[in-house]
Amino acid sequence: PTMGDVGGLSATLQELRELVEIPLKRPDVLAKLGLEPTRGVLLVGPPGTGKTLTARSLAEDLGVNYIAIVGPEVMGKYYGEAEQRLRAIFEKAKKAAPCLVFIDEIDSLAPDRSKVEGEVEKRLVATLLGLMDGFAQTKGVIVLAATNRPDHLDPALRRPGRFDREVQFRVPDRQGRFEILQIQTRDMPLEDVDLDAIADLAVGLVGADLKALCQKAAYFALRRQVPNLSGPVPDTMTLVHADFLQAIKEIKPSVLRSVEVESPAIAWEDIGGLESVKQTLQESVEGALLYPELYAQTGAKAPRGLLLWGPPGTGKTLLAKAVAAQARANFIAVNGPELLSRWVGAAEQAVRELFAKARQAAPCVVFIDEIDTLVPARGQYQGDSGVSDRVVGQLLTELDGLQGCTNVLLIGATNRPSALDPAILRAGRIDLQLEIGLPDAAGRLAILQVHNGDRPLESVDLSHWASLTDGWNGADLALLSNQAALEAVREYRAQGLADPSQIRIAAHHWEQAHQAILSQRTSVANRG
């Protein structure tokens, strides 16, 4: 592969080439200026962003030798075997100068010695440090090492003269995705395929994902044009836009495979009521994620964090999903208590990793439900060894780190806003707070209309039910609508009817559903 095979990384490639080309090709120039040549460069980024491809392409373009090592493959069964293998590879590189050595998954080869118990790993780290220091007298050899977990590396590895330079490989933006799609489809027979539109839809996908997307689209095209492999094959076969649309539904961003992620398909119209809240979200939040360049041009600051507060079941999660969907952003949802851990440092680490993932998958909405459990007012809990205070501190740090990052948004939900640490509600952190109260009669009617728009209602007056359900939240109304449908199904089956198109949900089904829910509530209240 050559640099022409690498898409969406022009700035990264330029930076890396400048670090590598002169020390490899003209080390004498550096010597005249008294400059120390670069010995090691760390390539940091999530899997699939092109670190390995870039290293190979760079060696090819510069016309230098290339030796690749995969971290876990160096490990041996016998004492001293791994260190011996590593020494042999570095010796080979010296003899092959100018040479580029590429170590993939270096975090498995040189983990932080303070966090591992195995002697093999500790000896291997010491060996690698010694070999890197030995390169001080060697000209024309540079080591590139790739990792997606830089915080797991031994700190000694990143000292001057070792891997003291770092190049970030980020998830490609829209233009980057378009470039990668162009490269991946250049040998494919496309017909009326709008790669621009596909790049728009492929939010969060990295190079490896986009390659998989193109391959999957080709398989869909094959299945469409040759449904039976034993039958005739057309002389010309093409990929059409629909093949890509079908393929993109099956590709999940690889940077998010270790977290629960969604690309919600919720429109504002799918949420009944809450008109003023929806308008505020559209104006102040959705626009910032969709058009960051407008904010940059005018110096306007979009909210980094947003708090939705109100009683349970009022639609806070649904609103957060709608923001992500309408802004074409990824959506990571976590529950406050899930991130808490009694192990020292584990909860703070979980918060750090959550925001690191969000930055990698930008544009991204991070939704923390029950955020009050994660960031309670500091000093409130005496028996948790300071865990709560440390987590609050970490979350504040992460929010402050989002300044200038216009494509990551934190949305927190709580029904106890007074329990939150006041520091998190300051300007520049969670600076937009919206109350999501119980719906009024008009809101309840809108919610019932959303939930029953596609249901076969017969003589059901939704306004009547909106007025009868004062004090009910959106979740209650969804339950009532579903319960009425279940009552209709039960009656239909009892009558032994066979044609599903004849089923209707009538007023008496709603009466039965309403009664069932009220009875259930009374029973629960009595038990309590």
Asked if 217 contacts 239 with a C-beta cutoff of 8 angstroms, the reply is yes
Homologous superfamily of domain range 3-168: P-loop containing nucleotide triphosphate hydrolases (3.40.50.300)
- The C-alpha atoms of residue 20 and residue 23 are separated, in whole angstroms, by 6
What is the C-alpha separation between 282 and 290, in angstroms, rounded?
10
Instruction: Give the 3-state secondary structure of 166-229.
Output: EEECCCCCHHHHHHHHHHHCCCCCEECCCHHHHHHHCCCCCHHHHHHHHHHHHHHHHHHHCCCC
Question: pLDDT category, 38, cuts 50, 70, 90?
Answer: confident
CA angle 409, 202, 191 (to 5 degrees): 155
**Could you confirm whether domain 441-527 is CATH 3.30.110.70?**
no
Average pLDDT over residues 512-520: 92
Tell me which DSSP letter residue 96 carries: T
- One of 3.40.640.10, 1.10.357.140, 3.30.565.10, 1.10.8.60 is the CATH number of 174-258, namely 1.10.8.60
3-state secondary structure of 99: strand
Using CA atoms, how far apart are residues 33 and 514, in angstroms rounded to an integer? 85
Measured CA to CA, the distance from residue 390 to residue 342 in angstroms comes to: 12
Predicted confidence at residue 193, as pLDDT, reads 92
Query: Using CA atoms, how far apart are residues 480 and 96, in angstroms rounded to an integer?
Result: 74
What stretches of 453-503 show up as alpha helix (H) in DSSP? 462-468, 474-494
What pLDDT is recorded for position 335?
A: 85
On the question of pLDDT at 400 being above 70, the answer is yes
What pLDDT sits at residue 77? 58
Per-residue pLDDT for 254 more than 60?
yes
pLDDT in tens, 206-221: 889 999 999 999 999 9
For residue 461, the model assigns a pLDDT of 95
**Global confidence as pTM:** 0.66
Instruction: Please provide the average confidence, as pLDDT, over all residues in the chain.
Output: 85
Q: How confident is the model at residue 514 (pLDDT cuts 50, 70, 90)?
A: very high
Q: Please give the helix or strand (H or E) that residue 69 lies within, else none.
A: strand 65-70
305 phi and psi angles, rounded to 5 deg: -140, 155
386 vs 470, higher pLDDT: 470
DSSP 304: S
Structural fold of domain 262-435: Rossmann fold (3.40.50)
d(CA 283, CA 271): 17
Which stretch of 133-142, 334-343, 407-416 has the lowest confidence by average pLDDT?
334-343
Is it true that 3-168 and 262-435 share their CATH fold? yes
Instruction: Report pLDDT for 19.
Output: 87
Mean pLDDT of 191-209: 89
Mean pLDDT value across residues 390-396: 84
157 CB burial (10 A radius; 0-12, 13-18, 19+)? buried
> Any idea what DSSP says for residue 376?
B
Q: What residue segments make up the domains of the chain, in order of their start?
A: 3-168, 174-258, 262-435, 441-527
- The pLDDT, as a whole number, for residue 17 is 86
